Amino acid sequence: MRTQVCIIGGGPSGLLLSQLLHRKGIDTVVLERRSRDYVLSRIRAGVLEWGTVELLREAGVGARMDREGFPHEGTYLALQNRGFRVDFKATTGKQVMVYGQTEVTADLYAARDAMDGVVIDEAEGVTPHALDSDAPFVTWHKDGTEHRIDCDFVIGCDGFHGISRPSIPNSVLREFERVYPFGWLGILSETPPVDDELIYANHPRGFALCSMRNENLSRYYIQCDVNDSLDAWSDRAFWDELKRRIPGEAAERLVTGPSIEKSIAPLRSFVAEPMRWGRLLLCGDAAHIVPPTGAKGLNLAASDVHYAYHALARHYLDGDGEGLERYSEQALSRVWKAIRFSWWFTTLMHRFPDQTEFEQRIQEAELEALEASTAAQTVMAENYVGLPY
């Protein structure tokens, strides 16, 4: 087999890149380790920056999002059960779109199928080779047979635990990491959202977030011990704890119900440099991880895809390699700003195990300063709605 661009990983970044390149006449093959059902059932991100919205439209997968997604012009922040609103539209002229990653992935798979895009699922032992030569290739097993595909470029879209990043030699790769001493316990429930915008709450008992997917599907999170067992968190215990941490009027309005999904996620900031080595480009979680507080993970994957797409299109359509030369530097410049924002927002909103009273007062003062200052809210909003590409 031969293709121009071999993409490892059929999550949102791999599928979106494949879809965008295909529309420019550039041939791709996507290799995904899991089954399609597994990929489609992962509950993850919920908030899209406007740049992501526009990129999905450009890829021809915006129609259902535009019909069923919910544009949000602001968000609530809360401190000790008292909330205030940050108005994205008034401060930046921009908004975000609430539309689940599950839906984005479903739309991308449907679009790939409609264009006869090649996505090979349940590909085992995917291994890239000769990445520092002009003739890279990738091998894998499926149904007991070994396969090989030759290509011009390999794009690592295979998430944090993928094979692409470790293919860069240790002498080249640098990794930067912060692991936070807590996790997020999240549930999905078929209940109406408590508010029509998100609520991020700082509380002495720990952070809480009220989010949503649609009029009858809510997503809620509370900060927890990352080593907690899910069995220790009955639905009842979750709702009781959530109510303690969010503003009083929201707690009174909250409609509870059985959870249809429940999971605990660790929080981590991580960046790998460089994002290009030879014929390998990394995109999305393969190169970086952010704690979910800033809603940046999927959006950073989309901005990497934007840079990789334009770099590859320039190479194939204009014979100009400058985009590829600059890919790592360009993508990393935006990545580090999102890493900083997510770290700042996480640090501001969570209770740390060793937090002193001094640090707690600083958090409270910073939230009060944010409430009182349009300038501070503008900086927060600029980062939340997404920095320009």
Q: Locate tokens 């908004």: which residue? A: 95
Active site residue 166: no
- Please spell the DSSP secondary structure of 234-272, one letter per residue: -HHHHHHHHHHHS-HHHHHHPPP--EEEEEEEEEEEEEE
* Residue 47 binds ligand PHB (CB under 6 A): yes
* Contact by Cβ (8 Å): 298, 315: no
Active site residue 193: no
| Residue from the set 95, 189, 211, 363 that interacts with ligand PHB by CB under 6 A | 211
Which residues sit opposite 209 in a β-bridge?
Answer: 200, 221
| Residue from the set 265, 376, 379, 387 that interacts with ligand FAD by CB under 6 A | 265
**Nearer Cβ to ligand FAD (43/130):** 43
Q: For residues 100-139, which are near ligand FAD according to CB under 6 A?
A: 101, 123, 126
**Nearer Cβ to ligand FAD (240/261):** 261
Active site residue 292: yes
CA distance 251 to 82: 11
| Residue from the set 44, 262, 310, 351 that interacts with ligand FAD by CB under 6 A | 44
Q: What long-range pairs does 324-329 form, CB within 8 A, spacing at least 24?
A: 324/276, 324/281, 327/275, 327/276, 327/281, 328/273, 328/274, 328/275, 328/276
Active site residue 296: yes
* Residue 74 binds ligand PHB (CB under 6 A): no
Assigned token pair, 305:
């895809």
* Residue 51 binds ligand PHB (CB under 6 A): no
| Residue from the set 11, 14, 46, 156 that interacts with ligand PHB by CB under 6 A | 46
- Please spell the DSSP secondary structure of 81-106, one letter per residue: TEEEEEEHHHHHS--EEE--HHHHHH
| Residue from the set 3, 21, 46, 220 that interacts with ligand FAD by CB under 6 A | 46
The H or E element that residue 305 is part of is helix 297-318
Closest distance to ligand PHB from the beta carbon of 350 (Å): 12
The H or E element that residue 52 is part of is helix 50-58
The span of 42-50, 232-240, 247-255, 365-373 binding ligand PHB (CB under 6 A) equals 42-50
CA distance 159 to 6: 15
* Contact by Cβ (8 Å): 169, 175: no
**Nearer Cβ to ligand PHB (139/263):** 263
* Residue 219 binds ligand PHB (CB under 6 A): yes
Strands 153-156, 145-150: pairing is unpaired
**Nearer Cβ to ligand FAD (297/323):** 297
Strands 217-224, 153-156: pairing is unpaired
Closest distance to ligand PHB from the beta carbon of 186 (Å): 7
- List residues near ligand PHB by CB under 6 A: 45-47, 198, 211, 219, 292-293, 295
Please identify every residue annotated as catalytic.
72, 200, 292, 296, 384
- List residues near ligand FAD by CB under 6 A: 8-14, 31-34, 39, 44-47, 101, 123, 126, 157-159, 161-163, 186, 265, 284-285, 292, 295-299, 301
